Structure formats: structure tokens, C-alpha cells
């Protein structure tokens, strides 16, 4: 097979940032994706419906003319999020979810949730009004090893939430472990997981063996190789519980290549080619369309996206950098060769 045609994909987890960064990132995402669920971890975070709608307008202002792109918004859950705010968000077209960052878990998560008990009323309101809960599933305690934080979160926090709120739709974002895969597979209906391209392509040796590679540093951190195998199996299995969420997370080069570098891999311009590489290696190219478009659309209960994208087997070299305002943005696989390319 030398040509792959997909329904225009849905990136169910992406960081677009704000301000001048939108000028670079939004055109990259809108080129390949017809719809995206935009993460709210700005500084300050997007905690209100009004804030989400204003952010949406700033995003739409950067969509190239003639391109159809639908940003879907999520509120950033804090200890102070009220049931009224949840109700308002649920009644607002274009706001579809609430993102739970455990406080201190990742980039711009300081305002996140300090304990699940503190958001009990908000979770009840979400269940009642039909807003989805998107979870960055990692505990943040110092006594828990960074590689164990996802598995511990599932046992300690997420399993009880899923059980207690039987009608709440829950997405375990960026699943990175075999335990995460098992959790999603064996959960009740209404639980799904997103999987990034980088967690399908890399394991922790790629990040750490011999030399440290800051552009592979993301959170949750890359795990040992067998976890990657479990992710590939889940993504290519045809299960509607697993779908594409790139977690593309741009940071300026200087914030990655430094003392105390930021977590996040930038994959928006290359994500479809990267996923195609993984699905082809697994002999599952025929399942890429559902993973990239169909399953998330169904899980979110959305209308199908119009249009298609075509990838062609053609080698090309990923640019070394993109401009990010006055700074540089280094994409994943910078200067390396990819085997799939957008046909137009
Ligand atoms: C994300 C970011 O930079 O906003 N970073 C990351 O490593 N994935 C935050 C997140 O999704 O954890
Ligand atoms: Zn993310």
C-alpha cells in the first residue's frame, strides 16, 4: 500500500498554547486535523467557560482561510471549580470536557487539583450535565517513583472515581503503561484512553541510554520497552476505547535544551506520518482511520468530520526547527527521515 486515505482526523489531546505561538501551531494542527481537543493549561489556566470561548476565538483567528478546523475546548479543573461553572460549560456548544491535572504533575499544573475529595461536587455536576472528564493520570508524591506514577494513580484515584461516578465519561489521557492499557480495556463502558505517537515510537532507553535527549522528554515519561509494546497492541487492536491524542506540546528550544528542561514533544506537523509508521510496522494500516478519526468522534458523540487527508509513501526530512515567535521550536524527529507524507 503506497497511499493511505483517512477521514480528516481528530486530535483528541493537543496543546496549542497562546499568543504568538498560535501563529505557528494552529496552522500545523489545522492542516492535518479537522478537529482537536485543546488543552487548557495556559498561564493562567482556562478555568471558566468565558475564558474557554475567548481562547477559542484566538485559535480560530489563526486558522488559515479555506481550512475547516473545529477546536473543542476543555475547562481546567481546580479545587475551586463550582458546579455552576460546570453547568454553564456543559450548556455551551464547543466546550465538551474538563481536564484534571493533579497539582504539580506537569507543565502549568500548579493550579490543578490537590486532592480528589476537593472536586467531588464538580465531578457530580459533570456526571449530571454530561461533561467529559479528561485525566492526566499521575500521582505527584515525592515518594512515588516517576516511572510508577501512572499505575499508582489508577489504583489510588481513578478506579474509585470511575466506580463512584457510574455515568461519568472518562478519558485516561496519554496512556503510557501496560497497567493503563489494562485499566482502559477492563473498565466499564464510558472509559477510553488516548495514545500519543511518541509513546508508540519510543521507550525510555531512547530518552536516557548513553545520552539524554531532551526532545523526547515528556510527561508522563517514556516507560520501559514492554509498555510500549502494550500501547502498540492497544492502538492497533481495533478497540474503540483507544484513539489518537498526540499530546503535541510545543516549548521553545531554550526551554527544552537547558538545566531543568520542560516536558513536551512537538508532533503536530508530523503526527499522522508517525502514527502511520507505527500502524504499518504492526501490519494494521487498515485500522488507522478508526483510531485517528472514527473512535474519538463516536466516544465524544460528535458529528463526523467532513473531508479526507491522504498520505503517500514518500521520504522527506522533518525540518530542523520551526519559528515560534522570535524563538525556535524543535519538532520530534527534527532532521530525520519519515516514510509517509501528506499528499498535498
Ligand atoms: C504538556 C505541556 O507541555 O503542556 N507536556 C507534556 O509533557 N505532555 C503537559 C501534559 O500534557 O502533561
Ligand atoms: Zn498534554
Closest ligand 1 atom to residue 218 Cα is: 7
Distance (angstroms) between ligand 2 centre and the Cα of 247 equals 4
User: Which residue bears the cell 489531546?
Assistant: 13
Segment 237-276, tens digit of pLDDT: 999 999 999 999 999 999 999 999 999 999 999 999 999 9
H or E element in which residue 228 lies: helix 225-235
pLDDT band at 191 (very low <50, low <70, confident <90, very high): very high
Of the listed ligands, the closest to the CA of 37 is 2
CA of 248 to the centre of ligand 2 (A): 7
Tell me how far apart the alpha carbons of residues 145 and 135 are, in angstroms, rounded to a whole number.
19
> Judging by beta carbons within 10 Å of its beta carbon (0-12, 13-18, 19+), is residue 83 exposed, middle or buried?
middle
The helix (run of H) or strand (run of E) holding residue 12 is strand 10-14
Q: How far apart are CA 304 and CA 260, in angstroms?
A: 42
Residue 290 is placed in which grid cell? Answer: 478508526
Distances (CA, A) of 316 to 13, 47, 313, 329, 336: 26, 40, 10, 19, 8
Q: Which band of pLDDT confidence, cut at 50, 70 and 90, is reported for residue 1?
A: confident
Cα 161 from Cα 21, distance rounded (Å): 35
> Is the CB of residue 151 less than 8 Å from the CB of residue 180?
yes
Ligand 1 pocket member 140 (CB < 6 A):
no
In ligand 1, the atom with minimum distance to the C-alpha of 101 is: 12
Residues whose CB is under 5 A from ligand 2 (ion)? 247
The string of pLDDT tens digits covering residues 305-334 is 999 999 999 999 999 999 999 999 999 999
318 Cα: distance to centroid of ligand 2 (angstroms): 22
Selection from 199, 200, 218 nearest residue 265 by Cα: 218
Distance CA 93, CA 70 (A): 11
CA distance 217 to 196: 13
Ligand 1 atom closest to 262 (CA): 3
Residue 11 has pLDDT above 90, yes or no: yes
Residue 24 beta carbon below 6 angstroms from any ligand 1 atom: no
Q: Torsion angle, CA of 83/85/88/94, rounded to 10 degrees? A: -120
* Side-chain-facing half-sphere of 223: CA atoms under 13 Å: 24
Residue count of the chain: 344
C-alpha 121 to ligand 2 mean position (Å):
25
Residue pair 246/296 in contact by the 8 Å Cβ criterion? no
Task: State pLDDT tens for residues 53-100.
Answer: 999 999 999 999 999 999 999 999 999 999 999 999 999 999 999 999
pTM for the whole structure: 0.98
Mean pLDDT of 15-37: 98
Proportion of the chain in helix, strand, coil states, percent, rounded to 5: 35, 20, 45
List, by residue number, the catalytic residues: 247
Tell me whether strands 242-244 and 322-324 are parallel, antiparallel or unpaired: unpaired
Amino acid at each position: 500500500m503506497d497511499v493511505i486515505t483517512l477521514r480528516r482526523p481528530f486530535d483528541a489531546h493537543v496543546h496549542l498554547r497562546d499568543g504568538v505561538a498560535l501563529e505557528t501551531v494552529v496552522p500545523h494542527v489545522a492542516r492535518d486535523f479537522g478537529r482537536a481537543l485543546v488543552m487548557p493549561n495556559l498561564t493562567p489556566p482556562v478555568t471558566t467557560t468565558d475564558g474557554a470561548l475567548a481562547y477559542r476565538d484566538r485559535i480560530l483567528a489563526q486558522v488559515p482561510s479555506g481550512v475547516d478546523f473545529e477546536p473543542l475546548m476543555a475547562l481546567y479543573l481546580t479545587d475551586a471549580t463550582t458546579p455552576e461553572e460546570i453547568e454553564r460549560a456543559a450548556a455551551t456548544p464547543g466546550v465538551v470536557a474538563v481536564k484534571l491535572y493533579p497539582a504539580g504533575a506537569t507543565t502549568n499544573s500548579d493550579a490543578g487539583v490537590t486532592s480528589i475529595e476537593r472536586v467531588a461536587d464538580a465531578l457530580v455536576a459533570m456526571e449530571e450535565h454530561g461533561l467529559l472528564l479528561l485525566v492526566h493520570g499521575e500521582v505527584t508524591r515525592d515518594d512515588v517513583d516517576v516511572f510508577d506514577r501512572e499505575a499508582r494513580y489508577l489504583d489510588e484515584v481513578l478506579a474509585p472515581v470511575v466506580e463512584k461516578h457510574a455515568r461519568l465519561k472518562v478519558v485516561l489521557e496519554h496512556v503510557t503503561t501496560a497497567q493503563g492499557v489494562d485499566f482502559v480495556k477492563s473498565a466499564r463502558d464510558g472509559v477510553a484512553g488516548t495514545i500519543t505517537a511518541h509513546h508508540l515510537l519510543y521507550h525510555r532507553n531512547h530518552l536516557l541510554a548513553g545520552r539524554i535527549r531532551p526532545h523526547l522528554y515528556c510527561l508522563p515519561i517514556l516507560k520501559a520497552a514492554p509498555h510500549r509494546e502494550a500501547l502498540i497492541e492497544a492502538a492497533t487492536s481495533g478497540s474503540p476505547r483507544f484513539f489518537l491524542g498526540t499530546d503535541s506540546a510545543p516549548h521553545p528550544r531554550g526551554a527544552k535544551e537547558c538545566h531543568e528542561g520542560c516536558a513536551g514533544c512537538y508532533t503536530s506537523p508530523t503526527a499522522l506520518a508517525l502514527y502511520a509508521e507505527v500502524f504499518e510496522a504492526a501490519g494494521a494500516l487498515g485500522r488507522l482511520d478508526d483510531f485517528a478519526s472514527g473512535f474519538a468522534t463516536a466516544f465524544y458523540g460528535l458529528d463526523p468530520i467532513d473531508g479526507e487527508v491522504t498520505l503517500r509513501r514518500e521520504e522527506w526530512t522533518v525540518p530542523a526547527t520551526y519559528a515560534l515567535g522570535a524563538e525556535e521550536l524543535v519538532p520530534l524527529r527534527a532532521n530525520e527521515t519519515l516514510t509517509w507524507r501528506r499528499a498535498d
